[in-house]
Structure 1
Amino acid sequence: MNVKITNKEKIKILIADDLFQIMAKVLEREEKIDKDKEHMWVVGLAQNLRLIFIELATLGTINMTLAEPMEIFRVALIKGAPRIILVHNHPSGELQPSDADKQVTDRLIQVGKIVGVDVYDHLIITPKSFFSFEEMGLMEILRASMAFIPTYQQVAEAKKEAEKIGAMNHAKEVAKELKRRGLDNQDIADISKYPLEKVKKLRVKIKKN
């Protein structure tokens, strides 16, 4: 369900409090109908962080909300929002995220990577305050999580990383040999593709003609 927002409210969301000031008003309206239920909203942002839309994605129970990826990303994809912020309320007034909140966020981050929509933050709100996953450092931890990455993708990424390391080690050996031959550091970097700063730090014995 689309939430009506004024043109004045379509601001750049630079900090979590910018969005909370808007969502507190939305929550006040919603609580008149379903005061004891958790709501999950999807907030669409443009690339420059300007607010595009607010959509009520799901309506849950007293202590949980169902956040299926299809419901979360549907509007973002239709309206072309490259970034979204998840927002849900805790009727209990408790702001700390539950394990389920973290797992849902983790899963949606990974789905967002697949569909090309960045999950920028997740806010837990009450009428008086909020908790921002991004500002508390949780988003960084969850973005690095591999809990919801398929095994085949983990293997592919591991192989890719190994290839990078192998290529870097090979470049280093080439750079060492060129340095032994007395070539200029910039030429060594250009030929070997080994970073110039690292070339400068290589210590080798120069070959005598």
Structure 2
Amino acid sequence: MAASGRRTGRPTLEEVAARAGVGRGTVSRVINGSPRVSEQARTAVQRAVAELGYVPNRAARALAGSRTDAVALVIPETEARLFTEPYFLDIVRGVSGELAEADKQLLLTLIRDDKERQRFEQYLAAQRVDGVLLVSVHRDDPLPDRVRMLGLPAVLNGRRSEAEPVAFVDSDNVGAGRSAVAHLAGRGRRRIATVTGP
């Protein structure tokens, strides 16, 4: 506190604890959502946080809890492809929205060559993200296996092969094809064609 009685800078955890009449550890447990706090202490801490306008220091929380609150969305494509195909923009929009709802940071990474892949692997090895989402990964891309070897949670959008060892989310293309044909056949169509990409 300054001599005038006004606070200088951001309120600290210690100031919240003093205002709430509890220990620093109790404040930390309340802020981190621990159930090991009495309802009376939780209410006092929440009131003190609101009165002081306390905002947790995310960097300090990450160091203390070895969490970054960040998730990498990796798209091994060029900027031209990313920004011209609505598919990628919809994925970025959806992932960004869900991470924001979970109070997590999105790290969007484009990987265009081996040098960028190696640099990103070094970034991951430094434990700078809590998980990795991989989109548009090609069959021979080693990155999903490297992420898995680093022990980071990873999910692929699609899969590289039938024997994919990394967790993945994929469309049921066979089921969708059956539904589409059944729909057309149900409307009396008899000559049905399929148009596919490369």
Q: Of Structure 1 and Structure 2, which has the larger fraction of its residues in strand?
A: 1
Is the TM value for this pair above 0.5?
no
Q: What's the TM-score once normalised by structure 1's chain length?
A: 0.23
What TM-score results when the alignment is normalised by the length of structure 2? Answer: 0.24
